[in-house]
Amino acid sequence: MTIKLKTAVPGPKSRKLMARRLRAVARGPFHATPVFLARARGAVIEDVDGNRFLDFAAGIGVANAGHAPAAVVKAAAAAAARCVHAGFNVTPYEGYVELAEKLCAAVPGRGPKKALLVNSGAEAVENAVKIARVFTGRQAVVCFDHGFHGRTYMAMTLTSKVKPYKSGFGPFNPEVYRAPFPYAYRWPGSNDPERVSAECFRAFTDLLTSQIGPDQTAAVIIEPVLGEGGFVPAPASFLRKLREYCTKHGIVLIADEIQTGFGRTGTLFACEQAGIAPDLMTLAKGLGGGLPIAAVVGRAEVMDAPSEGGVGGTYGGNPVACAAALAVLKLFQDGSLLAHARALGGIIERRLTDWQTRFPCVGDARGLGPMRAVEFVRDRAGKEPWREAAGRVAKHCYEHGVIALTAGTYSNVIRLLPPLVITEAQLAEGLDVLEAGIAEVRP
């Protein structure tokens, strides 16, 4: 047994810290749990009261290679001892170049590629759009319903969910258009993924033809699996058709793999499973194993469109974060972590499918590889989103030693994001807690 609770949750020290947090920290940052962290290793989080939790959140899909893997900690410490920051814009260093080389080799696509390193997912999205606009000389950007791309102005404009991400923050950026995402469970008329894929692609082409003009469109940005939107995979057929359409019309296809990347779906990147190579890929989260680093990687001619000094920043590709990211990539190198991730995916899929048959409140169970989720509804037929059910299950989880996150446009989804180093026994222990929480959900 990994879970060990010494106090009721939250414990007394967490409560005291929360009181201080409420006085000193702005309201904006959200907490999925009320417990304060003391340390984290592998798939285990220990709080300040000595309670041990199984982590099904991984810092929102960051600690894919586990919390504080020894190799990452060692590489970051050694890099920090050499230099914490000098600025790639001032005196370049090898770690940035080596990480760019490794990322170019790792992302799908045959031709020459280049990379730009930045600090956060939102910053990667901003830069991908800037690069696509300069490269094409066009302005329009097409995104999808239920998408999440970050909290800066362009990234927020591209994001779908109004509360809490957009409400009151307008006006938003111009020249952003939204097409339907093939979310089969919530598509009117059919939940057959292939039919929904075809109908959504038709809506996408209609939007471009009737409202924007393909020759005015700089970029199309899509998450291969919706992250914050509730872990809905886009059918491979949809992604392939987008790829063909963008190639035909000279539009830059951006795959936002910030949440799906680094093994989260069982392959290094989700696009691999659809057999497509985007023109640009945005990466963050799992890349640095916890250190803030993000990247835009893609076709060299596209990446080279901005002039010198047009993109970049003070901290982008910080040497400590680069060293950590290189160590993370090494952990994925021999394929065993990915094989383990796929095995976890099989186990999770079987459990979630079983819940869908047994619990009427579980309307949908879905995902790709180990990136899986359940969607709660008040009734199977009407599919009315049941936000409180997801909230109650998440609360049951942390009170019983599992850190789990909600998601979805209607906040009625529980998503599973365990560190991919979690053992099968730990996973089963955590899933048992989750199942007990779902079993308790009553209207």
Ligand X SMILES: Cc1ncc(COP(=O)(O)O)c(C=O)c1O
Q: Minimum Å distance from CB 154 to ligand X? A: 11
> For residues 265-294, which are near ligand X according to CB under 6 A?
284
- Residue at shortest CB range from ligand X: 121
d(CA 294, CA 326): 13
Q: Minimum Å distance from CB 203 to ligand X? A: 22
With contact defined as beta carbons under 8 Å apart, do 36 and 14 qualify? yes
Q: Which is nearer to ligand X, 159 or 217 (CB)?
A: 159
Among 256, 279, 364, 375, binds ligand X (CB under 6 A): 256
Among 223, 279, 364, 375, binds ligand X (CB under 6 A): 223
Sole window of 220-228, 295-303, 306-314, 380-388 interacting with ligand X (rule: CB under 6 A): 220-228
Among 72, 106, 125, 236, binds ligand X (CB under 6 A): 125
Among 51, 64, 120, 157, binds ligand X (CB under 6 A): 120
Q: Which is nearer to ligand X, 72 or 405 (CB)?
A: 405
- The verdict on 140 binding ligand X (CB under 6 A) reads no
Q: Is the dihedral of CA 108, 114, 118, 123 positive or negative?
A: negative
d(CA 382, CA 203): 24
Among 33, 51, 157, 259, binds ligand X (CB under 6 A): 259
d(CA 437, CA 414): 11
Return the H-helix or E-strand segment holding 319.
Answer: helix 319-333
- The verdict on 150 binding ligand X (CB under 6 A) reads yes
Q: Minimum Å distance from CB 181 to ligand X? A: 12
- The verdict on 368 binding ligand X (CB under 6 A) reads no
Q: Minimum Å distance from CB 149 to ligand X? A: 5
Q: Which is nearer to ligand X, 138 or 161 (CB)?
A: 161
Which pair of tokens denotes residue 268? 């290094």
The CA-CA-CA angle for residues 146, 222, 247, to 5°, reads 145
Sole window of 7-15, 38-46, 145-153, 371-379 interacting with ligand X (rule: CB under 6 A): 145-153
Q: Which is nearer to ligand X, 223 or 279 (CB)?
A: 223
- The verdict on 122 binding ligand X (CB under 6 A) reads yes
Q: Minimum Å distance from CB 435 to ligand X? A: 26
Which pair of tokens denotes residue 223? 């998450």
Which residues contact residue 319 at a Cβ distance below 8 angstroms, ignoring those fewer than 6 apart?
79, 82, 83, 84, 85, 86, 93, 95, 96
Query: If you write DSSP's letter for every residue of 17-71 in order, what string do you get?
Result: HHHHHHHHS-S-S--SSSPPEEEEEBTEEEETTS-EEEESSHHHHT-TT-BS-HH
Which residues contact residue 355 at a Cβ distance below 8 angstroms, ignoring those fewer than 6 apart?
362, 365, 374, 435, 438
For tokens 């309670």, what's the residue?
51
For tokens 């930045």, what's the residue?
118
The Cβ-side half-sphere exposure at 118, using a 13 Å CA radius, reads 20
Q: Which is nearer to ligand X, 264 or 351 (CB)?
A: 264
- The verdict on 121 binding ligand X (CB under 6 A) reads yes
Q: Minimum Å distance from CB 256 to ligand X? A: 5
Sole window of 10-18, 165-173, 221-229, 334-342 interacting with ligand X (rule: CB under 6 A): 221-229
3-state secondary structure of 6: coil
Helices vs. strands in the chain: H and E counts, helices first: 14, 15
3-state secondary structure of 380: coil
Sole window of 65-73, 237-245, 254-262, 265-273 interacting with ligand X (rule: CB under 6 A): 254-262
- The verdict on 157 binding ligand X (CB under 6 A) reads no
Which pair of tokens denotes residue 366? 């879905």
Return the H-helix or E-strand segment holding 256.
Answer: strand 252-256
Q: Which is nearer to ligand X, 67 or 149 (CB)?
A: 149
Q: Minimum Å distance from CB 172 to ligand X? A: 16
Q: Which is nearer to ligand X, 283 or 338 (CB)?
A: 283
- The verdict on 227 binding ligand X (CB under 6 A) reads yes
Q: Which is nearer to ligand X, 30 or 442 (CB)?
A: 30
Binding site for ligand X (CB under 6 A): 60, 120-122, 125, 148-150, 223, 227-228, 256, 258-259, 284
